[in-house]
Structures are given as structure tokens and as C-alpha cells.
Amino acid sequence: MRALDFDYMFGLVPILLSYVPLTLGMAAVSMVMALVLASLMAVVRVVNVPVLDGFTRFFISFFRGTPLLVQLFLFYYGLPQVLAFLTAINGVTAAIMGLTLHFAAYMAESIRAAILGVDRSQWEASMSVGMTTTQMMRRIILPQAARVAAPTLVNYFIDMIKGTSLAFTLGVTELMGATQKEAAGSFLYFEAFIIVALIYWAIVETLTLFQRRLETRLGKAHAR
């Protein structure tokens, strides 16, 4: 067993940290778009909007039923060959598209389940004051479903942050790509990858702290 090159490891930390914003940025943008898309799909399914409901089922089935990596390759390498306007698509955009659609499919189902868990009386009360379906969803049902869905959704966000590492296969130099380059130059693969592992882990742990705060905030109506 050889000794670890600690100097190299310490030197690597600031270099790799400079890629964290890109990784987090891709994850954050994808998460926001996925949340919006997933909420819309969940509502479409719960309210049973004709035509859109069928389309949503098909969408969820496809994006849950195929690997994320396959989807990313399809967007980045495949689609531009058949759709000319996508020729200029860059790796970051393709990764964000893939992450958004993939995770939206999963999140739609958790949000749908959370919506169905909201007590019937809340729907009736909303209708009784004369709200439209949209008003009812936005003001009463979705906020209550959010409390139930929050832990699962944070889990998906964690998965998404780690999923951004796949963007490296699309030629994006993000956290994982940068590590791979550094390691290929120094041949110190263990040092490089243990550092990047620790960075991902630290990001996720920090997020877990926020999760607790978020859950307290969403649960404030239920605290006694």
C-alpha cells in the first residue's frame, strides 16, 4: 500500500470547489423546472384532464422506464440528428433537459400521492367559497400536499445533485468531469475521487440541514 499524497489532496480542494457552482446551478435549475412540471402533471392526473391525462401517463411511463444516461445521450447525441434546430444544443442544456424531465416523472407521482392524501373536506371547503380548480390547487391543496411530499422531494433533489455528474459523459466539465481530468493528469485516482466524494457528501449533508428547516416551516400549521 502506498502513502496518500495529502499535499495533492489539499491542493485539489479549491480547484474542485470552483466547479461546485456549476453542479449546484444545473441541479437547482433542473429542480425548479422539474417541480413546476411535476406539479402540473400531478394536477392533470388528479383532476383527470382529458387528453392531457393520457399524455402525462405516457410521459411518466417513458421517463421512469428508461435509464437517465440513455435519456441524456438521446437528448445530446440523438435528437440533434433528427431535429435540426437542436444541433446547437450544448452539454449543460442537454443535461438540464434530461434531469428535469427524468425527475419530473418521478416527482409527479409523489406529488400526486400527496395531493390525494389531502383531506376531502379541504376540497369541499375550497369549492364552497367559490374557488376555481386552479385557485383551489394553488391556495389550498398544493400547499398542504407540499408538506407531505417535502421529504421525498428533497430526496429527489439529492439524487439530482448526484445525477449532474452524468453531464460529464456529455463533455461538460462539471465537478465530476473536472475530477476526472485532474486524476488523468496526476494518475492519483484515489486521492482525486475521495476528495470529490467528500465534496458531494458535504453538499448533501448541508442540504439535509435545510431540509429540517423546510419541514418545520411547512409543518407550522400543524404544530401544537
Partner 1 sequence: MIRIKGLTKRFGTNTVLDNLDLEVREGERVVIIGPSGTGKSTLLRTLNFLEKPDEGVIRIGDVEVDAGNASRKQQLALRRQTSFVFQNYALFANKTAIENIAEGLTTVRGWDREKAFARAREILGTIGLAEKEGSYPSALSGGQQQRVGIGRAMASQAPLMLIDEPTSALDPEWIDEVLQLLKKVADERQTMLVVTHEMQFARDIADRVIFMDGGKFVEQGPPEQIFTDPKDPRTRAFLRKVL
Q: Confirm or reject binding of residue 50 to partner 1 (CB under 8 A).
A: no
Among residues 21, 54, 143, 151, the one that binds partner 1 under rule CB under 8 A:
143
CB 176 within 8 A of CB 193: no
The one segment of 19-27, 91-99, 126-134, 166-174 that binds partner 1 by CB under 8 A = 126-134
Query: 37, 100 in Cβ contact below 8 A?
Result: yes
DSSP three-state, residue 87 = coil
Q: Does 217 participate in binding partner 1 (rule CB under 8 A)?
A: no
Cβ nearer to partner 1, comparing 97 with 148? 148
Name residues contacting partner 1, limited to 79-118 (CB under 8 A): none
Cα separation, 38 vs 107, whole angstroms: 6
Total residues at the site for partner 1 (CB under 8 A)? 23
With CA atoms as reference, report the closest residue to 203 among 165, 166, 171, 149: 165
Query: Cα–Cα distance between 48 and 116 in angstroms, integer?
Result: 13
Q: Is 169 in the site for partner 1 (CB under 8 A)?
A: no
Q: Which three cell numbers stand for residue 58?
A: 405516457
Nearer to partner 1, 122 or 152 (CB): 122
Q: Using the rule CB under 8 A, is 130 a contact of partner 1?
A: yes
Pick 159 or 215: Cβ nearer partner 1:
215
Distance CA 78, CA 72 (A): 9
- The contact set with partner 1 (CB under 8 A) reads 119, 121-122, 124-132, 135, 139-140, 143-144, 147, 220-224
